[in-house]
Amino acid sequence: MTTKTQPKHNTNFKNEVTEGLTSFPKYLSSKYFYDKKGDSLFQDIMAMPDYYLTGCEFEIISNHTQTIGELFRDRENGLDLIELGAGDGKKTKLLLKYMSENNFNFIYKPIDISENAVELLAKNLAVEMPALTVDAEVGEYFEVLERLKGFNKRKKVIMVLGSNIGNLKHPKAIDFLTKLKDSMLPDDLLFMGFDQKKEPQTILNAYNDPEGITAAFNKNILTRINRELGGNFNPEKFKHWEVYDPETGTAKSFLVATEAMDVTIEALQLTVHFDKWETIHTEISQKYDDKIVRWLAQESGLTIVSSFTDEQEYYKNYVFKKA
């Protein structure tokens, strides 16, 4: 088992914080929610009854483990199983266990932006499945896409779970999917989760818990700026706000300034002014239906091989090949 850690993303963090907080309207990237504290908060979110996404995808993979596993299998040469945004690997472990117990010849390569998440996953797998070959890596999706082309000696299966594709607006999602397609050979597969459109209140409840865990998760980016870049944000002066547009299928998260203030960030030599009720846009969570997913696939040069859904049809995992 090996873990490769890319250099810290401090320069990217500085550049993106500067760009986001000097823009109008202001924004920050949700990928920076994730550090040790953010990972822990996200575990709490996934355990919330109203956050249906994790449970639905776990149900799908639990109920279809064999079918999905056999779709992945290559009896002649084996395969590379590459997961982008691996997190704690809870759902993936169902497949890893099946594949390990049924004579699959494979290497598991989890990739995540959170160094903490990658290290924890690698350690847990070393204990739970000591015979499994794991080649873990810290990195961002778009950074690793070019390197995926190097996995061309045998079949590869790329997994993106948790509806992480939903953090990208459609043009960026098409760009991402196109780059994935460009890294794929004819026999390669892409296995990806898409949260489905549904009752709007169900979606709002998933991101707007009364306990304030999602609010703390969003505000963690302000805490990171304070700790890593010498900022003096007071997170208590920001209110987490969630909206959902059922027409576009877009849920948006904001941090809203509850009073006028100036925030100084020493490492950036930057002072940022906030008017009362001014917003920082922190995250989008796109929702889909079959029609939109087919369109995204077509625009990206992919074709849908199969799909799996949960009992309530809240969520779907699609299997794609190169068109």
What's the confidence (pLDDT) of residue 117?
85
CA distance 265 to 225: 8
Q: At what angle do helices 115-128 and 36-46 cross, to 10 degrees?
A: 60
**pLDDT digits over 283-300, tens only?**
999 999 999 999 999 999
**pLDDT digits over 94-144, tens only?**
999 999 999 999 999 999 888 888 898 999 999 999 999 999 988 877 778
What's the confidence (pLDDT) of residue 9?
56
In which residue ranges of the chain is pLDDT below 70?
1-9
What's the confidence (pLDDT) of residue 3?
46
What's the confidence (pLDDT) of residue 134?
93
Backbone φ, ψ for residue 73 (5° rounding): -60, 140
CA distance 5 to 136: 8
What's the confidence (pLDDT) of residue 7?
42
What's the confidence (pLDDT) of residue 18?
97
Strands 106-112, 79-84: pairing kind: parallel
Give all strands of the β-sheet with 279-286 in edge-to-edge order: 26-27, 279-286, 250-257, 238-245
What's the confidence (pLDDT) of residue 152?
87
**pLDDT digits over 130-162, tens only?**
999 999 988 877 778 888 888 889 999 999 999
Phi-psi group of 64: left, alpha or beta (phi > 0 → left; psi -120 to 50 → alpha; rest → beta) = alpha
